[in-house]
Structure 1
Amino acid sequence: MIILLTLIFTVSAYFIGALNGAILLCKVKGWPDPRLHGSKNPGATNILRLHHAQAASLVLIFDLLKGTLPVYIAYFVNIPPFAIGFIGIATCLGHIFPPYFGFKGGKGVATGLGTLLPLGMDMTGLLIFTWLLTIALSGYASLAAIVTAIAAPIFIEFIKPEFTLPVLMLSSLIILRHISNIHRLISGKEKKIVNWKQ
């Protein structure tokens, strides 16, 4: 029964994750496809660059919620931690490879964070603090995502160690999606979202 339930949740999570907030908002507003402009990543950061903070906030909330809901419901019905990890990863894979949009999606940062929110307010607070601190110190949204992804398995090991392996898998996926950003950071070509020198 648990195997069948996990399979149903995993498949459902993938298709829920594929509902990309940035692309849908741009379609509703009649704005250009965010995958063709700015950083070409259909996420909240690129929407902030291309439009305004309100639009970016809507995308962020949408992508957080679609990550949170499948994991929270799975947690509520007592699906085992390892299986919940696969459900969270499936949600992120849906965001990254959405079948509704030609399998060209975002990098899964907000959705990945959303999948971790049900693990507790202490975990959530640590992740948000890490992301904000990195942004404040560096100005790079991509670096903040990478640092937070690296920190997440460390945090969860001390908070809910039964979720360490799934979180490690999720973090690895997010870091892999940022390989191009890592190259640009090293070469000094990455664009800052905040520039304190201005």
Structure 2
Amino acid sequence: MTTILFAIAAYLIGSISFAVVASKLFGLADPRTYGSKNPGATNVLRSGNKKAAIATLIGDCAKGWLAVWLAVRFGPQYGLEEGGIALVAIAVFLGHLWPVFFRFVGGKGVATALGVLLGINPWLGLATLATWLIVAYAFRYSSLAALVASVFAPFYYALLFGVDAILLAIVAMSALLIYRHGKNIGNLLAGKESRIGSKKK
């Protein structure tokens, strides 16, 4: 029962779409109506408002970190074990992808996944973030950077901690992230993908 309660709480935390919230606070259009129509920091940046994009990035990352941190910090005293923490990690990520508060229309999960990884272990999160930054700087494609980072994240975890339930959760999260980038993969192959910083049309 404790595991289920932690997972539900994580899903609800993940369901807070900071792209939509930040856009409303900054008086911007709903990010689900322009650009890639993805409620995430990269699409909010296309509005031209960097502050709103940064707020979205921080918020989406923070909710992933918070859900996992709460599970790691307080879960064990209520009987939450490794498998439960893995379930919490997936639950907050699923909340972002399919948020109950926004008619199940969510983002692709890059920032939230980073927050989850930071919550699991700071070095794991930083290594994955460094991978994203290197690819993004070199090629100027947020989606490509996310795809490469998502592939490397499970390997980083395995190198640091070996194979366990949390690794399986990270693999599942990476697979979902790649799935959510299906259209971006097609655009990248066709040379039509928008670069970082491009404005909405």
- What is the TM-score when the length of structure 1 is the normalising length? 0.92
The aligned counterpart of 1:37 is 34
Give the stretch that moved more between structures: 69-78 or 58-67: 69-78
- 2:143 maps to 1:142: yes
Q: What is the Cα-based RMSD across aligned positions, in Å?
A: 1.4
SS at match of 1:50: coil
Once the two structures are TM-superposed, the CA of residue 121 in structure 1 deviates from its matched residue by 2.5
The higher relative CO (CA closer than 8 Å, separation ≥ 6) is in 2
- C-alpha distance in structure 2 between counterparts of 1:99 and 1:120, whole Å: 28
Question: Does residue 187 in structure 1 map to residue 190 in structure 2?
Answer: yes
The two structures have a TM-score, normalised by structure 2, of 0.91
Structure 2 residue aligned with 1:168 = 171
1:130 is matched by which residue type in structure 2?
T
CA offsets, 1:119-167, max 9 Å, x none?
A: 2232122111100000011110000011000000000001122332111
* Structure 1 residue runs without a partner (length 5+): none
Per the alignment, residue 103 of structure 2 pairs with 102
Q: What letter matches 2:146 in structure 1?
A: A
Q: CA deviation at 1:194?
A: 5.5
Selected match of 2:51 from 42, 50, 54: 54
Residue 10 of structure 1 is aligned with which of 7, 11, 21? Answer: 7
Aligned length: 192
Measure how far apart 1:98 and its partner are: 1.2
SS of 1:19's equivalent in the other structure is coil
Which residue identity does 2:145 align to in structure 1? A
Residue aligning to 2:19: 22
Amino acid aligned to 1:135: A
User: d(CA) in 1 for partners of 2:28 and 2:51?
Assistant: 15
- In 2, Cα distance between the equivalents of 1:153 and 1:57? 26
CA distance in 1, matches of 2:18, 2:109: 12
Supply the distance in 1 between the matched residues of 2:120 and 2:43 (Cα, whole angstroms): 28
Map of 2:87 onto structure 1: 86
In structure 2, give the amino acid aligned to 1:120: N
Runs (4+) of structure 1 exceeding 4 A deviation are none
CA offset at residue 32 of structure 1? 1.2
Residue identity in the other structure for 2:6: F
Structure 2 gaps of 5+ residues are none
Deviation at 1:24, TM superposition (A): 0.9
Shift, 1:176, TM fit: 0.8
